[in-house]
Structure 1
Amino acid sequence: MTLLRTELGTTLRGHRLRQRRTLRDVSGAARVSLGYLSEVERGQKEASSELLASICDALDLELADLLAEVSLGLRGDRVRVRPLAPAQADAPAEELAAQASVEQPVAEPALALVGGPAARSAGRPGEAVSLAA
């Protein structure tokens, strides 16, 4: 289960990095300490609604859009809302929905038995089997 503060932090960090901005830059614009913003991004601090609004203003991001993106992340949908370019701001909603980027869930590495089928089927008691990720 993902915590709300973890998903909020991950999403905020993603927006900041996509804008190629530093923690120092955003913390100054949001009028929040660099250390506190870092803790929010790492999911170690619960941000108040006032602080989130200030960070969103600094990132030129609507708070409602941030919360919608976080909600999708908590559901496990991995759909990420791409910020609109100025030319797209007046585009019809149908066009924007068609252009939305959808990230596929990232496959997690699975554990595999090393040594081939012969080693696994031999089934000798007490014999070690190595695992690789």
Structure 2
Amino acid sequence: MKQIIAAFMFIGGILYASNGEEVYQKHCAKCHNLSMRSTEMATMKAPPFLEVAHRVKMHYPQKEDFIRFVVEYIQNPSREKGLCMPMAFQRFGTMPPIGKNMSDEEKKAVAEYLYNLSKNRRMCPANGGK
């Protein structure tokens, strides 16, 4: 019985993770490129998604806190809660509340996708360490 439950959890985790990329494509990719390419700098509508992932991870290194922040922020974004550098707010403004048009599952899936992206690169903490 434990093996069946573990198998369902594993399969569910895989589906959940792939769903996050689909949610990114559907709701986020219109403004957030995945990474920063020099040829796209002039036409960027928002900070690159990978850079957002790293910035959030610096402030919320624990997965649960990271996901909670992202889910809340995409529903109720504000400059006060935002973690972007001041120049990013000057250039792009505050994002619209796209999370209000997403299901709870979509919000959690894209937050987990963003968290997993942040694990793919060594972090440069805000305090200059590591």
Which one has a bigger Cα radius of gyration?
Answer: 1
Answer 1 or 2: higher relative contact order, Cα 8 Å, separation at least 6: 2
TM norm structure 1: 0.26
In terms of fraction of residues, the more helix-rich structure is 2
